[in-house]
Amino acid sequence: MSINRSALRIATVLALRGRTNAGEAVFDSRSDALEDVALGESVPVISVYTEEDKTEDRRRSIDLVIEFAVNTQVAIDESDVIAAPQTDEALELTLDVLEAQIIDALMPAASPAADLLASLAVDISVRSSKRGVLDHGKDRRLAARQLLLRCVVVTEPVAGAPVPHHLTRLIALMQADPFYAPAAAGLAIFISRSFAWTPSEREMSFLMLDRWSARAIGMAAEETKMLSEIVINGESVT
């Protein structure tokens, strides 16, 4: 599990909910059916995803994808379905306004969740804004877009180390949110997990040093057992 990846999505959802024309229709890794949408009514919807996660030169970046559409309930083959309609000048204006609202809502100081996002991602850049949904096989452009943000995130928390402040704030925000509250306690336990590591072992993990390298520089030799020193049933494992 990547705590920072989950935190990135949750903070983004909380920062957007209630602060754009989509209202409360902001979802984590899914697009709800919105069954209460009246036939022919148009409703803005936002879905938040995390995609590519990569590390280069010890700099970790995660692609945050925000898909937004103007969904409507339409009758197809004697049944009602939720779909993004073919776009027009009014729907395009709706999408443009919604995109601007999304950017504003993610700015630092816009909300406690936006502040948390700023603590989690040391740099956020817009990589692209493009048509999110295409009606394949038909000459139609649908009322949906996809905003791709590249987020450079802070270091993943180490097991047994003190919980970073931004993650304690994340748990507090989740506990106050009806949707995320049921998951808050379990995530808090996982974040604060401890493997009973010694302080030197935690430092070795943070520095990404194995035991042999640590011993070579004089670190933690008295607190850790080298593999060559471990004995099982009276015999060395090496």
Q: Is residue 21 domain-shared with residue 134, that is, in the same domain?
A: yes
* Listed residue (187, 151, 149) closest to 170, CA to CA: 187
Question: Does pTM top 0.85 for this prediction?
Answer: no
Which pLDDT band, with edges at 50, 70 and 90, does 2 fall under? confident
CATH number at residue 37: 3.30.70.1700
Q: Is residue 112 domain-shared with residue 227, that is, in the same domain?
A: no
Q: Tell me how far apart the alpha carbons of residues 67 and 27 are, in angstroms, rounded to a whole number.
A: 10
Q: Is residue 118 domain-shared with residue 102, that is, in the same domain?
A: yes
Q: Tell me how far apart the alpha carbons of residues 137 and 233 are, in angstroms, rounded to a whole number.
A: 68
User: CA distances (Å), 214 to each of 130, 171, 195, 200, 203, in order?
Assistant: 48, 34, 19, 9, 10
CA 126, 127, 132, 135 dihedral sign is: positive
- 99: containing domain: 3-191
Q: Cβ(65)–Cβ(50) under 8 Å?
A: yes
Contacts of 110 (CB under 8 A, 6+ apart): 15, 19, 104
Q: Is residue 161 domain-shared with residue 96, that is, in the same domain?
A: yes
The pLDDT of residue 151 is above 70: yes
Which pLDDT band, with edges at 50, 70 and 90, does 73 fall under? low
> What whole-number percentage of the chain has pLDDT above 90?
42
Q: Is residue 186 domain-shared with residue 205, that is, in the same domain?
A: no
Q: Is residue 41 domain-shared with residue 11, that is, in the same domain?
A: yes
Tokens of 89: 């000048």
Domains in the chain: how many in total? Answer: 2
Tokens of 81: 């379905």
Q: Is residue 181 domain-shared with residue 206, that is, in the same domain?
A: no
